[in-house]
Amino acid sequence: MAGLFFHAIICAVVGLIVAGCSSGSKSVAPASGPAERSAVERPPRPATLEDVRKTQETQTQEVGRLTGEVKALDAQQAFLVTELKSLSEQLAKLKASVDDARLAVEAIQRATPVTPPATPPPAALSQPPPPMLPPAAPPRAAVAPPTPTLRNPDADRMFAAALAKLRAGEDGQAALEFTEFVTQFPNHPQAAAAQNWIGEAFYRQRDYKQAVVEFQKTVDNYTQTTQVAEALLKIGLCKRAMGDAAGARAAWEQVIKQYPRSEAASQARGFLAGRTNGGSRVR
């Protein structure tokens, strides 16, 4: 009986020992198992669609910024080009003004030599035998009145201003100013040229009928000037533009006949020979 009891105690002790070892092994296993090692050795997280989207947005913003800078540079370049064009136009206008002033000075210089006709009275006085010569001086003095007009700076300025209008393409205004010039200063050395410029203004506006009328005034009123040859040449051009070939030929033949050595006659020969189409220019 005692032996059975002792044997039971031994079995119980052995069972407790076995149970303790089993629980100890279970408690240690989680610390060194495969799950813990996988947590430590986990690879980096791959990029997601959200990461790609953010990267694209950043790049798009950078491209937009650069595009804005390029547009700003283009606008600045366009502004500079406009400024350069404006300066070029101003320079051209200044050059035209200088040319007009030069023409005015040349007009005065051409007009000044005309004044010597006032000197013949002393030559007449140098012939004392005819007693009636002194009374003959007043008629020569009567020719002198136009000389103040020749030296009139207002007339020269008016002519230069009208010519500047014509050069600037303001044909209508130029015609009005030249007409006023001819009305106020009919005996001015540039009056015949002014009358031709009136015809030129209408010619450039393709009002050929009125241009013929104005050029004909030069032919009728300034017969002693070289401007008549130019007027006849332009009458021929107007006639041709209106389809009047016979009228054009007649005008050009008249130029060649009356002014054979003039530049207008040379051009008329070219028109008759069909070597040139003609045209108008402001000189």
3-state secondary structure string, the chain? CHHHHHHHHHHHHHHHHHHHHHHHHHHHHHHHCHHHHHHHCCCCCCCCHHHHHHHHHHHHHHHHHHHHHHHHHHHHHHHHHHHHHHHHHHHHHHHHHHHHHHHHHHHHHHHHHHCHHHCHHHHHHCCCCCCCHHHHHHHHHHHCCHHHHHCCHHHHHHHHHHHHHHHCCCHHHHHHHHHHHHHHCCCCCCHHHHHHHHHHHHHHCCCHHHHHHHHHHHHHHCCCCCHHHHHHHHHHHHHHHCCCHHHHHHHHHHHHHHCCCCHHHHHHHHHHHCCCCCCCCCC
Predicted confidence at residue 188, as pLDDT, reads 94
Predicted confidence at residue 48, as pLDDT, reads 87
Predicted confidence at residue 37, as pLDDT, reads 56
Predicted confidence at residue 100, as pLDDT, reads 72
- Spans of all domains in the chain: 146-277
Predicted confidence at residue 114, as pLDDT, reads 44
Predicted confidence at residue 279, as pLDDT, reads 52
Tens digit of each residue's pLDDT (9 = 90 or more) over 35-71: 555 555 666 677 788 888 888 999 999 999 999 899 9
Give, for all 283 residues of the chain, the pLDDT tens digit.
Answer: 545 555 566 666 556 555 554 544 444 444 455 555 555 566 667 778 888 888 899 999 999 999 989 998 988 898 888 888 888 888 877 777 777 767 766 666 555 544 444 444 444 334 444 444 334 333 343 334 444 444 578 899 999 999 999 999 999 999 999 999 999 999 999 999 999 999 999 999 999 999 999 999 999 999 999 999 999 999 999 999 999 999 999 999 999 999 999 999 999 999 999 865 555 444 4
Predicted confidence at residue 184, as pLDDT, reads 95
CATH architecture assignment, domain 146-277: Alpha Horseshoe (1.25)
